[in-house]
Amino acid sequence: MLEAEYSLEKSLDRYLRHVAIERGLAVNTVEAYRRDLTAYLASLAARGIVSPAAIGSNDVSTFARELRSRAESPLTASSTARMLSSVRGFHRYLLDEGQVETDVAADTTPPKLASRLPKAISIEQMAAVLAAAQGDTPQALRDSALLELLYATGARVSEAIDLNVDDVIEGDIVRLFGKGGKQRIVPLGSYARTAIDAYLVRARPSLSARGASTPALFLGVRGQRVSRQNAWLIIRAAARRADLGIEISPHTFRHSFATHLLSGGADVRVVQELLGHSSVATTQLYTLVTADTLRDMYTTAHPRAR
């Protein structure tokens, strides 16, 4: 027995509230769902379909073909896969809520994605970047503390810049808030503790005096919370001074954190907890990186490897 029939627009609004409130997804994730599904509803509307019950499996297939073949602004395979994943989630919701009798998107398969291993830099390269960020000015002390924290904790850049002073607990533990507001506790190594202590004592007070009072841990030159863009610029500047010869990003620190831990013998489930991954399968991508490194070393060093 179907519920009273909804318009597609009303069903979409209900679905977005569901993922935001009941599933607790992050604002950016919900907005991505909104964009993907708005494009899907526009495709359906162009064929005269305005209610969930009127959608057939052929309509989902048509939308998938449109994504793959559109001449203007063609999507990458990963973007196509993401949009089709949004569509499948929407149809599962419609079935669960009794708005349709069958899940017409269940058999829709996303394009196969090339295996992409996380990009990490070597321990020596990371040490060079961290050394390049050091200095005695308030900005240099802040930059050093930020980069040491990123490498020590594997934090996403958004998690790092969202930190408040009180989130550094007893000097050797940091409280991070990940996707969906999930909290995790991550220890700080001695280098990060020293850099953060120096920043808090010698730099943050002068930066804070330049703007309105804020609990933010990392402050910009006007006393405001450091932005994502500012964090990117700090990392790029340190990489240039270290003369790496490659581009790195905030996520390079996260990838390197995980790869270096696993190379050092850390258990994959411990690394999963430290990174805040909901699935260990995501963390296991990093084991492929370390396996590649071992294979390269073996091929180079063993007399009968090739």
Q: Which residues are catalytic?
A: 156, 179, 251, 254, 277, 286
What is the spatial distance between Cα 108 and Cα 56, in angstroms, rounded to a whole number? 12
Buried b (16+ CB within 10 A) or exposed e, 81-115: bbbbebbbbbbebbbebebbeebbbeebebeeeee
Number of Cα atoms under 13 Å in the Cβ half of residue 4:
1
Contact 213, 99 (CB under 8 A): no
**Cα angle 294-147-213, degrees, rounded to a multiple of 5:** 155
Contact 55, 66 (CB under 8 A): no
Contact 256, 117 (CB under 8 A): no
Helix axes 27-46, 8-17, angle to 10 degrees: 170
Q: What is the β-pairing status of strands 173-177 and 168-169? A: antiparallel
What is the spatial distance between Cα 185 and Cα 276, in angstroms, rounded to a whole number? 10
- First vs last C-alpha separation in the chain: 66
Helix then strand then coil, in percent of the chain rounded to 5, is 60, 5, 35
Tokens of 72: 């203007």
Torsion of CA 48, 50, 54, 55, to 10 degrees: 80
Environment class of residue 158 by beta-carbon count within 10 Å: exposed (0-12), middle (13-18) or buried (19+)? middle
